[in-house]
Amino acid sequence: MQQDNGGPQLSPCDRRLGLASNGASVAVFRPKVDEISLLTVNRNDTASGSGYMVAFAGQKYAARSLPIMFADNTHTITSFTLVLEFSGGTLQNLFWKSYGCNSCSGGGNICLNNTDCAVPNSKCQENGGSGCNIGIQLAFSGTDKNLDVLNSWYEVKNLRQYSLYTLYSNLRDTIVAPYEKFF
């Protein structure tokens, strides 16, 4: 892949990008292929205004998703699905999948941009409410090097109706939250 300036698409871990000096945060995950993974990115600072994120896959050089907004000045989107699309075992694409606003009811959630449920920043942890951590359901589609079909994308698609992230988030809050002050 190429950067906008025609150069190689660098991994976010490559120091030549200078992400840290630009105030960017980097979270690293190593999921297993074709297993549903729920990645959680802790976000305690909602005062920094709007934010976008991109997903990278690769080591020295990387494939990159398009940027996606996770927060504006007043709201945070807390649930995302990232699909890694393979063909014959080679990564072809990283894309964000949106499911609309059908699950926005209750809890003060609102529909943002007619595509995503968002939590008002005023309800985030720093203001005494629940956290605005970002949950990313990771799924795989396409075929592996043996041309076997990767199934986790279909599993995530079917599980969305049960709000997997909400279930995980509530469980995490129940188990981990009482001990966070010690870490």
User: Over the stretch 102-148, which tens digit does the pLDDT of each residue have?
Assistant: 777 666 788 888 888 888 888 776 655 556 788 888 889 999 999 99
Angle among Cα 124, 127, 132 to the nearest 5 degrees reads 15
Q: CB under 8 Å to 85, separation ≥6 — which residues?
A: 91, 92, 93, 94, 95, 140, 141, 142
User: Over the stretch 2-53, which tens digit does the pLDDT of each residue have?
Assistant: 344 455 566 677 777 777 777 777 778 888 888 888 888 877 665 666 788 8
Total-model pTM:
0.74
Q: CB under 8 Å to 17, separation ≥6 — which residues?
A: 10
| Residue 177 CB coordination number (10 Å) | 12
